[in-house]
Structure 1
Amino acid sequence: MVDATLVPTHKRHFTGDGSDFRGQKRSNDTHASITDPDCRLYKKAPGDASRLAYLGHVLMDNRHGLIAGEQVTTADGTAEVDAALQLMDELGGSQRITLGADKGYDRHGFVQDLRNRNVTPHVARKCKGSAVDGRTTRHVGYSISIRVRKRIESIFGWMKTVGGMRKTRFRGLERVGLHFTLVSTAYNLVRMARLGVA
Structure 2
Amino acid sequence: MLSALLLQVFYGIRSERQLMEQLDYNHLYRWFVGLSPDDPVWDPTTFTKNRERLQNGDVFTKFMTRLLNHPQVKPLLSDEHFSVDGTLIEAWASQKSFRPKDGSGDDDDGANFHGQKRKNDTHASTSDPDSRLYRKAAGREAKLC
Please report the TM-score for the alignment, with normalisation by the length of structure 1. 0.24
RCO higher in structure (CA 8 A, sep ≥6) = 1
Please report the TM-score for the alignment, with normalisation by the length of structure 2. 0.31
